[in-house]
Amino acid sequence: MAKIAVLPGDGIGKEIVPQAIKVLKTVASKYDLNLEFEEGYIGGEAIDKVGKALPDETLELCKNSDAVLLGAVGGPKWDNLPATQRPEVASLLPLRKELGLYANLRVCSLYPELVGASTLKEEVVKGTDLVVVRELTGGIYFGKKYREKVEGGEKAVDTLEYTTFEIERIARTAFEIASKRRGKVTSVDKANVLESSRLWRETVTRLHEDYKDITLEHMYVDNCAMQLIREPKQFDVILTTNMFGDILTDQASMLTGSIGMLPSASLGGEVALYEPAHGSAPDIAGQDKANPLATILSAAMLLRYSLNCEEGAKEIEKAVSQVLKDGYGTGDLAQEGFKVVGCQEMGDRVNNYLLGEENV
């Protein structure tokens, strides 16, 4: 039996997570997996109900599960809270830290049917298939931060630190993933300016000695931002720091047609966490407009990495592909010839393929 902690969170989290659970239940019955799902509060909803963005019970639930499936947190209702109490900061960051999830994998591959949904030209994006391996529990998001009064106003300080240990373990993850893909790692830093990036580059270069069959290149983050748009097909595995990875993955999401297509897995500890790369999308929440595919594809990653069910993962990915081939998509994927459907119908269509039922 495997226990899955389910944390829908806020906004569209409530709509997309049930679609992924539906699909997981179908795969579980096909592959004789005994899955138990238990829900917990997180984010703004948890603040409203329990007074804390990451309640102790939720953290315990996650620690005592085999995997965590999360929707998204945050929204305008909680935007005016002090920065450290905002749902994103007060729930996601400590949850990642507590679970020891130092490696965030975001898969960015363009389904051929979505070429027209991308804002980039077909010849540029067609064939894009890359993974960003982002360091998740270190760097500037976790460094000491404070403010102090100075003459004429205030000073705000964020600190950016990395240790050899932190860099080595995330670099190893990237090399291992590249060894199962096309064998290339692009390590992204700002070594021309930042001392932490110089240590990053030295450490990655040294570790590369253990992975001689992998091609390693180094790239400055500003150049990488440009290259992602200029020629995304040059990338296989991008290895980078917490903040650079945060920004580059949102940019890279547009290569797949929509941020609603980008799944993610956060690994490193005993319990891994799976979530779409996007946020709670308050502008479309509660309207059955959200694209559930990033969450459904995150569920496929859960099967692959936490439950060792590669076949089930592949089946979900294939079902997603078939629905897109049929010409169905949520509004964010709208393109000529596509029929726009809601979040629930999109989930049903993927599920019907898994059940072997006809999609009408």
The residues assigned a catalytic role are 141, 190, 222, 246, 250
CB 140, CB 160: distance < 8 Å? yes
257 binds ligand NAD (CB under 6 A): no
Distance, CA of 343 to CA of 11 (rounded, Å)? 13
Closer CB to ligand NAD, 214 or 323, in the complex = 323
Size, binding site for ligand NAD by CB under 6 A = 22
Closer CB to ligand NAD, 133 or 284, in the complex = 284
Distance, CA of 36 to CA of 65 (rounded, Å)? 9
Closer CB to ligand NAD, 186 or 258, in the complex = 258
What are the Cα distances from residue 236, in Å, to 138, 181, 182, 225, 228? 23, 7, 6, 15, 11
95 binds ligand NAD (CB under 6 A): no
Residues comprising the chain, all counted: 360
| Six token digits for residue 307 | 């439950």
117 binds ligand NAD (CB under 6 A): no
Closer CB to ligand NAD, 127 or 327, in the complex = 327
Angle (CA) 242 134 9, round 5°: 80
48 binds ligand NAD (CB under 6 A): no
Interface with ligand NAD (CB under 6 A), residue from 4, 17, 20, 72: 72
Min CB(175)–ligand NAD separation in Å: 26
Where do we find the tokens 């440009």? Answer: 226
313 binds ligand NAD (CB under 6 A): no
Residue of 80, 19, 68, 18 whose CA lies nearest to 44: 80
DSSP state of 289: -
Interface with ligand NAD (CB under 6 A), residue from 257, 263, 279, 347: 279
Chain contacts with ligand NAD (rule: CB under 6 A): 12, 72-75, 88, 92, 259-260, 275, 278-284, 290-291, 294, 330, 332
